[in-house]
Amino acid sequence: MSVTNENTVIREVTKGVWTFSTPFKRSGIIPFGGRSTAVQLKEGGVWVLASTPLNDVTKSKLAELGDVRWIIGADAVHYMFLNQFKKEYPNAKVIAVADAASKVAEDGLKFDGAWGSDPPDTKYGFEDDIQHCYFSGFRNKDVAFFHPASKTLIEADLLLNLPPTEQYSKSGTSGQIPFLGQFVSPWSGLHKRMVWYTGVDKEAMKRDARTVAAWDFERIIPCHGDVIEKNGKKAWTSVYEWYLKS
């Protein structure tokens, strides 16, 4: 399904944090939904986790929010729209995971920083507003982001909350997942198993799951599925229970 202006859902989830939600099907079959997230920084400028097409309504809203200074790729598979954003905002810095670098090299896109190749304690310049934790032991090499001002966790594939109701709300279809129903949610045993088996380095996963669990967040904004407005910490500890207790 193409992402048009008409089926993009834009809303301010909490003060200074905006989401851009769109339809998306994994492998062209399973409705996962897609979402970009923009955060207005305290000293001006905008940080964007870029995971959906940069269509006209997205550009218009971002222009209202401020200068885009940071373009973020959340993991090794969320890289498809980084070049679109960089062309529109050439002065913004692109920070993504090292595993995505070769996938965008043919477009001439160069990263200004890369989780997985930079030293673990590297500061990229937005840490006064947004903290980050690189999951080196996760198959997709995801990064989790924490916005303390709004008690919000922002992430891509580390936690899903399907079905993607909001992301399909303007599409004319329900976004329901064939055969799976509500099973890929933070409260399901299936999600817990998925996260366990996609952890390729269990000790690294334990470390990083605990780092995120120690953050003081209430809300989770995932790239796939509905925003978890309350009890986000309980959702995280449910999905990562086997890592947190082992």
CATH number at residue 65: 3.60.15.10
> What is the pTM assigned to this prediction?
0.95
In a domain, 2, yes or no: no
Radius of gyration of the chain (CA): 17
In-domain check, residue 4: no
Q: How do residues 195-243 score in pLDDT, each as one tens digit?
A: 999 999 999 999 999 999 999 999 999 999 999 999 999 999 999 999 9
Q: Does a structural domain hold residue 136? A: yes
What interhelical angle do 189-197 and 232-239 show, nearest 10? 60
Question: What's the pLDDT score for residue 27?
Answer: 63
Q: Which residues of the chain have pLDDT under 70?
A: 1-4, 27-29, 174-175, 177-183
Structural domain includes residue 3: no
Q: Is residue 1 included in any domain, yes or no?
A: no
Q: Looking at residue 5, what is its pLDDT? A: 85
Report if residue 134 sits inside a domain: yes
Whole domain around residue 149: which residue ranges?
9-245
Is residue 222 one of the residues assigned to a domain? Answer: yes
Residue 26, pLDDT score: 72
Residue 32 has a pLDDT of 87
**In a domain? residue 59:** yes
In the prediction, which pLDDT does 1 show?
A: 44
Contact 183, 176 (CB under 8 A): no
Domain tally, the chain: 1
pLDDT digits (tens, 9 = 90+) for 42-55: 999 999 999 999 99
d(CA 71, CA 50): 6
The pLDDT value recorded for residue 62 is 98
